[in-house]
């Protein structure tokens, strides 16, 4: 049986390549696996040969030591692959299919799944709310930054690309369907972005850039992206966004007013999450900064999309309350302005088929927007370091060398 190289979290600031067991249609004990999931049979699952898998900002939270992730956890929840083995309970997914796996693992049977809330499936994570591959407290499903991975409930979860050759030509765009493109799109839909909207996106990391491109796809008139990282702001401008430099001392409403003529927008999206920093020169970590700032600049009765990650446990938080997920949010301001808030994991299946069609029919260029850059699986540790240092890049791992030099974007 084939081996299986994979990226493992070791300790804060360190990941390494390990050889782990080839996946089986059963959950085995290992780092982060919930005891109630050990021995769980998955005849409804498939084995994927991973074609592309991406480094996500959510992975970085774990690698920075900002969660309770155990040593040895295999990372990776953004997975695109070829089906090479099919369980006896799978009817419609076939060997040889090229597919996208939503980062949310969902059973398709429970109340939440039937209502379309696949991010909080009731049957896949005995420890809490919802599940994902290779993520702390998400049930212990082995991650996909690997050569091979098992995907459960395959008929329900997987999105099959209708034309394999066409999909391989668009693979850098299509690999974004597993997480960041639907996540950014969900943030914008939740914020009510539509034709003619003025939109503020907090954060110019890959999810923020994906949200900005999604806002354009939804018809926004002006998309403003805020960050302190000048390289990432330049990337946002490269596809037509306006930008504000949050490292400056000028108040955010004033900077927005210089762009749209008033100190407010119709809709705002938090694409940063709990490791936010205060605005201005030398801003220190202040986890409620983004939430409070988007309330400040969103007009009355506006909506706030919050796909940025917030956690119930943060051992590296700057204050005791934040270590338990309690933040100093100006809820009174949001209440006074009649704001609506949408939080939580993006239910990827709600959007991924439509976004696939948009990609295949040349309606969007998400890989270009997020500056997708292909690296080998062996180079994943360096990719994590570069990403942590603020690279304006979405790193796509190529475990089997299937993406080719012609698919490489950036430097």
Quick: pLDDT tens for 362-381: 999 999 999 999 999 999 99
- The confidence score (pLDDT) of residue 282 equals 66
The answer to whether domain 5-179+347-407 has CATH 3.40.47.10 is no
- The confidence score (pLDDT) of residue 410 equals 42
Q: Which of 26-35, 87-96, 122-131, 307-316 has the lowest mean pLDDT?
A: 307-316
Quick: pLDDT tens for 342-363: 999 999 999 999 999 999 999 9
| Cβ-based neighbour number of residue 133 at 10 Å | 30
pLDDT of residue 1 exceeding 70, the answer is: no
Give the burial string for 227-248 (b: 16+ CB within 10 Å, else e).
bbbeebbebbeebebbbbebbe
| Helical residues (DSSP H) of 218-351, grouped into ranges | 230-237, 252-260, 289-297, 331-336
Backbone angles phi, psi at 126, to 5 degrees: -65, -15
Domain extent listing, the chain? 5-179+347-407, 180-343
pLDDT of residue 407 exceeding 60, the answer is: no
The answer to whether domain 180-343 has CATH 3.40.50.720 is yes
Mean pLDDT of the chain: 94
**Same-fold call for 5-179+347-407 versus 180-343:** no
Q: What is the mean pLDDT of residues 61-71?
A: 92
- The confidence score (pLDDT) of residue 405 equals 65
pTM, whole model, 2 decimals? 0.95
Give the number of residues written for the chain.
411
């Amino acid at each position: 049986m084939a081996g299986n190289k994979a990226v493992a979290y070791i300790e804060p600031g360190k990941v390494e390549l390990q050889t782990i067991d080839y996946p089986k249609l059963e959950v085995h004990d290992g780092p982060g696996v919930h005891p109630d999931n050990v021995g769980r049979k998955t005849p409804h699952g498939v084995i994927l040969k991973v074609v592309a898998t991406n480094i996500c900002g959510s992975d970085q939270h774990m690698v920075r030591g900002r969660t309770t992730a155990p040593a040895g956890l295999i990372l990776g929840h953004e997975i695109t692959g070829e089906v090479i083995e099919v369980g006896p309970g799978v009817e419609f997914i076939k060997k040889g299919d090229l597919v996208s796996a939503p980062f949310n693992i969902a059973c398709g049977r429970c109340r939440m799944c039937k209502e379309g809330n696949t991010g909080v499936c009731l049957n896949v994570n005995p420890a809490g709310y919802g599940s994902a591959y290779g993520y702390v407290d998400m049930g212990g499903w082995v991650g996909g930054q690997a050569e091979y991975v098992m995907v459960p409930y395959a008929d329900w979860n997987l999105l099959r690309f209708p034309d394999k050759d066409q999909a391989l030509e668009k693979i850098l765009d299509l690999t974004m369907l597993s997480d960041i493109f639907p996540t950014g799109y969900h943030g914008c839909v939740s914020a009510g972005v539509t034709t003619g909207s003025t939109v503020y996106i907090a954060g110019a990391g890959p999810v923020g850039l994906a949200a900005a491109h999604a806002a354009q796809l939804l018809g926004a008139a002006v998309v403003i992206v805020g960050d302190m990282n000048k390289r990432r702001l330049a990337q946002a401008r490269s596809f037509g966004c306006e930008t504000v430099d949050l490292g400056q001392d000028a108040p955010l409403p004033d900077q927005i007013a210089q762009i749209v003529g008033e100190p407010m927008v119709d809709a705002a999206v938090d694409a940063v999450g709990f490791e936010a920093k205060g605005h201005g020169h030398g801003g220190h970590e202040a986890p409620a900064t983004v939430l409070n700032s988007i309330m400040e600049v969103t007009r009355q009765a506006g909506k706030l999309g919050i796909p940025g990650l917030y956690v119930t446990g943060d051992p590296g938080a700057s204050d005791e309350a934040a270590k338990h997920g309690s933040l100093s949010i100006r809820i009174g301001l949001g209440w006074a302005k009649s704001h609506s808030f949408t939080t939580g994991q993006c239910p990827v299946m709600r959007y991924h088929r439509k976004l696939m069609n948009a990609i295949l029919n040349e309606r969007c260029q998400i890989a270009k927007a997020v500056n997708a850059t292909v690296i080998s699986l062996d180079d994943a540790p360096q990719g994590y370091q570069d990403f942590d240092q603020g690279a304006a890049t979405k790193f796509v791992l190529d475990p089997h060398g299937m993406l080719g030099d012609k698919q490489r974007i950036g430097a």
